[in-house]
Structures are given as C-alpha cells and as structure tokens.
Amino acid sequence: MNEQTAIKTEKSKVTVELKTDALSRADLNDLCDAAEAAIEAGGGFGWLRVPERDSLERYWQGVIAAPMRLLFLARLDGVICGTTQLILPPLNNEAQKHIVQLTTNFVAPWARGHGLAKMLLEKVEGEARLKGYSVINLDVRNTMEQAIALYESMGYIKFGEHPFSVVADNQTITSSYYYKNINPDYFNSQ
C-alpha cells in the first residue's frame, strides 16, 4: 500500500531534447511505440493506419540522417513519448532562409497532461532562434482542437486554411496554417 501511494504522488520526470546523434535500439523502439499510439489516436502526422514496424523504424532513422531536419524528443521518465521536427529551408532559397517548418508534432496519448507539448514548442523555438531563424510555420488539421489551442496560446497566428488538405476515412478535413515570428529584431534590421 505504501509503495503504491509513493508511486502515485511522485512527480514524473519530463524532458525535451534536440537529438543530434543516432538513435539507440531502445530509443528507436520507444519512438516507434509512441508514434504507433499517436497514429492510433488519430494524430499520425500523415499516417492513417499504423504501418509495419520496419517502415516506422526506417522513417525515424531517415529523419536522423536527413541534414535538413532537426528532431526533438520528449521523454516521460526517460521513455520517448513525443516528437517535433523542424524542416530547415533549402540552401538555394535565400529569400526564405529565415523560415523553418514545424512538423510531426505529437505526444502519445498515455503521456499527455505533463506539459510536454508546450515544452517541445518552447525547445523548438529556442533552438530555431539560436540557429538564426526568425519564423516558424506549421499546419494543423482543424479537428485537432487541443493542438490548435496550444499553438494559439503560444502566439501562433492563423493565416489561412486549406479545405482539401487531408482525406481520412473518406472525408475531407480542412487544415489551418499558422506562423510565429520568434525573432522580431530580424525584421527591424532588414
């Protein structure tokens, strides 16, 4: 009885990190488990059904290998439970070199309620600023009301909608487009 009480009252450890090296086998497994849970809950960043495990593993290994992507990991008690990615602008796009695209932002349902989604966004914004970027763009399905509420509470501004963005279960779902200026001084110096 005392052990159960201690477990229930002990605060969980939550962390967010920028992953810069290869994924260990345990981390890859955790990441695939979290992605599967997110896909099953309807927030599968493009996947409508859980793919074969080897496809998920290859996807995450590809993200780590891609030089124009930054992978951020959320952990609950050491277990990967969510991610966000930043897609960096191509080197030949000098006119938009200040903009990054946020994608693949999720926290597995079993890890929600610990503030990790907000922590992920704060970490992403900080790293983007450090790397000299000024604007973060993102798109989100209009059915993802909690994600939209979080983005708006953190200062993301809606600038448009795409009425044919997603087709799932034979239904068309509208997505909204958001941006956030994370470095206003950049535009004052231009």
CA dist., res. 185 & res. 164, Å (int): 35
CA dist., res. 125 & res. 120, Å (int): 9
CA dist., res. 123 & res. 147, Å (int): 16
Could you tell me the domains of the chain? 2-188 (3.40.630.30)
| Confidence check: pLDDT of 70 > 80 | yes
pLDDT confidence tier of residue 10, bands split at 50, 70 and 90: low
**pTM for the complete prediction?**
0.91
| Confidence check: pLDDT of 9 > 70 | no
Q: Residue 53 corresponds to which tokens in the numbers above?
A: 């495990």
CA dist., res. 26 & res. 33, Å (int): 11
| Closest to 20 (Cα-Cα) out of 92, 56, 82, 70 | 70
Summarize pLDDT for 94-152 with one digit per residue, the tens.
Answer: 999 999 999 999 999 999 999 999 999 999 999 999 999 999 999 999 999 999 999 99
